[in-house]
Amino acid sequence: MTPDAFIKQNSCMDDYDPTSLPADIALKKILEAIIPIESLEKLTVRNALNRVLAEDITSNINVPSGTNSAMDGYAIFSSDLPAQGTCELRIAGTAFAGKPYKEKLFPGECVRIMTGAIMPEGTDTVVIQEHAERSGNTIRIGADTKTGANVRAAGEDIAVGDTALEKGRRLTPADIGLIASLGIAEVEVTRKLRVAFFSTGDELRSVGDKLEDGQIYDSNRYTLHGMLTRLGVDIIDMGVIRDDRADLQLGFEEAARSADVLITTGGVSVGEADYVKEKLLEGRYETRPAACLWQDQGHHFFWPAR
């Protein structure tokens, strides 16, 4: 008598696989097992974009370096500001960014000053040029400017000894500019992660080749290459490995020698030519039957479904 039913094995068609781990638990185990890269490199600031800082960036200078004007206008003593009405001040000279006014200034005098110029000694306020009426060598100002207005103090943005950027930060274009503004020519960064990848399958052919019956183009490697390029890692493209146990073994061994991470695609189902799982018997985490992680002796191996 033929039975009405038989026991089915778990498959990728099932909603739940009791042998797999929930994604959050698998991710936690992966992160706990990862060994951070300790090798460092010293790079010029210009070449450090998108790299991860291996040390704090500490400022040896004040930014700005000196108390300076935040606006184009006139540097004055706040004691010369009128309580009401207007007053006249004599223009003693001009201060430019990078070319300060160095003469002694007296009450009742002011200095024409440009944005970024160092404040003349004793002055503490800048009246913007739109709020001053100039006539020859004198200006007339009103009572609408507050003491200390339009002045940036030395070290207001970054002071000597401040940590400008912290270790572990991935450097952005703005960070590169900040480091350069501190006069730092080189930075120490973590070396790039080395990621190897290969496809498996006798049916795979290179893009541009003519396809025979049953063959497909090896497109996954192109996707992986694009994703890894965007991540900024060192890429090791190992090509296509045939559905052969010995070739796969050599591929894994080569990746273990040269890479921190190996990503493979294909060969992880239950077909008679799917040998990848067979070669990776221990420490396997699965999110679905054909998307797995294996790790051994500090090397991490990922393979997505094809």
The pLDDT of residue 237 is above 70: yes
Q: The domain spanning residue 124 has which CATH number?
A: 2.170.190.11
pLDDT of residue 130: 96
Find the angle CA(269)-CA(270)-CA(273) to the nearest 5 degrees. 90
pLDDT band, residue 284 (cuts 50/70/90): very low
Greater confidence (284 vs 98) lies with: 98
Q: What confidence score (pLDDT) does residue 218 get?
A: 86
Question: Are residue 103 and residue 132 in the same domain, yes or no?
Answer: yes
Q: With respect to residue 82, please indicate whether it lies within any of the assigned structural domains.
A: yes
Residue 4, pLDDT score: 67
State the pLDDT at residue 124: 97
- The CB-side HSE value for 229 (13 A sphere, CA atoms) comes to 7
pTM recorded for the entire structure = 0.69
Query: How confident is the model over 42-71, as pLDDT tens digits?
Result: 999 999 999 999 999 999 999 999 999 999
Boundary-marking domain end, from 139, 168, 190: 190
Query: What value does the mean pLDDT take over residues 163-185?
Result: 96
| Measured CA distances, 18 to 15, 65, 224, 286 (Å) | 10, 64, 29, 10
Among 175, 63, 60, CA closest to 116: 63
What CATH number does residue 53 fall under? 3.90.105.10
Q: Beta strands of 201-306 (E only): which ranges?
A: 204-205, 216-217, 234-241, 261-265, 284-288, 291-296, 299-303
User: Looking at the structure, do residues 53 and 186 belong to the same domain, yes or no?
Assistant: yes
Same domain for 181 and 226?
no
Domain co-membership, 223 together with 263 = yes
- Residue 184 sits in which domain range? 41-62+158-190
The total number of structural domains that make up the chain: 3
Residue 97 pLDDT:
95
Tell whether 126 and 104 lie within a shared domain: yes
Report the pLDDT averaged over residues 150-158.
95
* Weakest mean pLDDT among 90-99, 117-126, 268-277: 268-277
Looking at the fold, whether 197 and 294 belong to one and the same domain comes out as yes
Query: Residue 126 class from Cβ within 10 Å (0-12 exposed, 13-18 middle, 19+ buried)?
Result: buried
Give 297's pLDDT tier (boundaries 50, 70, 90). very low
Domain check: are 201 and 294 in the same one? Answer: yes
CA-based diameter of the chain, in Å?
A: 118
Residues 185 and 196 in one domain: no
93 and 219 share a domain? no
In tens, the pLDDT along 196-227 reads 998 887 787 888 888 888 888 888 888 999 99
Residues 288 and 233 both lie in one domain: yes
CA 110 to CA 106: how far, in whole Å? 8
Does position 241 have pLDDT exceeding 80, yes or no?
yes
- Residue 175 within a domain: yes
| Of 265 and 267, the one with more pLDDT | 265
pLDDT for 262: 85
* Domain assignment of residue 3, yes or no: no
The per-residue pLDDT of the chain, averaged, comes to 84
- Say whether pLDDT at 6 is over 80: no
Residue 275 has pLDDT above 60, yes or no: no
